[in-house]
Amino acid sequence: MALSLVLGLSGGAWAQSGAGAIAHPAASSSPAPTRVAIIDVQAAIRATQEGKQAAAQIRSEFTPRQNALKAQTQQLQALQQQLKDGGNTLSIGAKDELQQRITDKQKQIQRAYRSAQNDLESAESDAVNRIGQKMMKVVSTYATTHGYSLVLDISNPNTPVLFASKGINITAPIVALFNRDYPVAAIGSAGASKK
C-alpha cells in the first residue's frame, strides 16, 4: 500500500484537460511557417527546477502519512498474527473481539490510504497545472521565435503521433527556457517565504 510519490502521476489529467494542446502563433500576412516540433510536456514539467522542487515538497509532505500507513499496516499484521497464534487457546469471545479489531483496523487503513492517495493526486495535479500554465507561455514564445507552425505534445500514449524525429523534439530547450524564466529559490527558503 505504498503511496506513489512521483510528480506527474496526475499528468494524465493535464493532457486530458486540453491544457496539453499547444497554441500556435497567430496568423499573419506573411506565409505561415511550416516547421513542426514535438514536446513531452509531462517530462518537461518534471525536468524543470520548479517541477523538481514541487516533487520534493510533495514527497516531504506525504512521507509522514506514508510512514503512518506503514505503522498501521504493521499493527494490523500483529493483530492477525495474534489471532492466528491464539486460534486454539483464545475463547470464542476473545477471538470475536480480536477479529472485530482486525476488521476495524482494515477499514481504518483503507480510509486513510484513500484519503492520502486523493490528497496526493490533488497536490500533484495542482503542481502540474500551475507549472503547465507557465510552460505553455514558454512553448508559445519558443514556437513563435523559432518559426514553428505546430507543436505536438507526445506525453499522452494515446496521442496520434506515430513517428517523430528526435531532431524536432524541443523538450530540452523548453526546460532550459522555463528554468531561466521561472527560477526557483532553494526549497528551505521557499518554505520559509510561504509562512
Query: For the segment 33-56, what is each residue's pLDDT rounded down to a tens digit?
Result: 578 899 999 999 999 999 999 999
Name the residue with higher pLDDT: 113 or 32.
Answer: 113
> Which residue type does 4 have?
S
| Domains in the chain: boundaries | 11-194
Q: In whole angstroms, what is the distance from residue 39 CA to residue 177 CA?
A: 14
- Could you report the per-residue pLDDT of 114-130, keeping only the tens digit for each? 999 999 999 999 999 99
pLDDT value at residue 148: 87
Cα 60 to Cα 53, 119, 142, 188: the distances in Å are 11, 13, 33, 12
The pLDDT value given to residue 67: 96
pLDDT beyond 80 at 12: no
Q: Please tell me the predicted confidence (pLDDT) of residue 30.
A: 56
Distance between CA 155 and CA 169 in Å, rounded? 12
By CB atoms closer than 10 A (0-12, 13-18, 19+), residue 85 is: exposed
If pLDDT is split at 50, 70 and 90, which confidence band does 32 have? low
* SS3 track for the chain: CCCCCCCCCCHHHHHHCCCCCCCCCCCCCCCCCCEEEEECHHHHHHHCHHHHHHHHHHHHHHHHHHHHHHHHHHHHHHHHHHHHHCCCCCCHHHHHHHHHHHHHHHHHHHHHHHHHHHHHHHHHHHHHHHHHHHHHHHHHHHHHHCCEEEEEECCCCCCCCCCCCHHHECHHHHHHHHHHHCCCCCHHHHHHHHC
pTM: 0.69
Determine the Cα–Cα distance for residues 181 and 26; give it in Å rounded to an integer: 22
